[in-house]
Amino acid sequence: MKIKISDLGQFLLAHPADTPFFLVLETGEILDEDHLPLISQKTKRLPLVAEVQNLKFCWEYTQEIDDPALRHDLQLILNHIDPDEGVDEFTESLYYHGLEEEWLTYQEEQLQHILADWCDAEDLDYSE
């Protein structure tokens, strides 16, 4: 079965970032932990969306912002974020500055890279 990582990424981004999901290799179905005991097929745990909602990716995203003042303001926020607390203040600031769509696109692109690497590591066939 060939995995379409863009569909998989969209599914994961539509759910809570810290929720673990599993891919049923035979059918391509995505299940949460509660439904795993109900099946007998082989599954693989998917990467967490939280992996692209961390400080590293936030810092990388700010490097792509052309406006130096805005980039500086966002990096000041990142300097004061506790890594264990999440990046809510950063994302709220992005929304305030009208960068919500750009941020979501960036997250989706990063998640697709992570999913492609995951497929490679799990020796799974995939397409973009």
pLDDT at residue 69 tops 90: yes
Nearest to 48, CA basis, from 75, 22, 78: 22
Side by side, the strands of the sheet bearing 21-24 are 30-32, 21-24, 43-45
How far apart (Å, rounded) are the C-alpha atoms in residues 115 and 86? 21
How far apart (Å, rounded) are the C-alpha atoms in residues 31 and 20? 9
Q: How confident is the model at residue 80 (pLDDT cuts 50, 70, 90)?
A: confident
pLDDT of residue 82: 76
Q: What is the domain partition of the chain in residue ranges?
A: 3-127
pLDDT of residue 84: 63
pLDDT at residue 121 tops 90: yes
pLDDT of residue 99: 94
How far apart (Å, rounded) are the C-alpha atoms in residues 111 and 35? 24
Please write the tens of the pLDDT for every residue from 26-59: 888 888 888 777 666 788 889 888 776 678 888 9
pLDDT of residue 117: 92
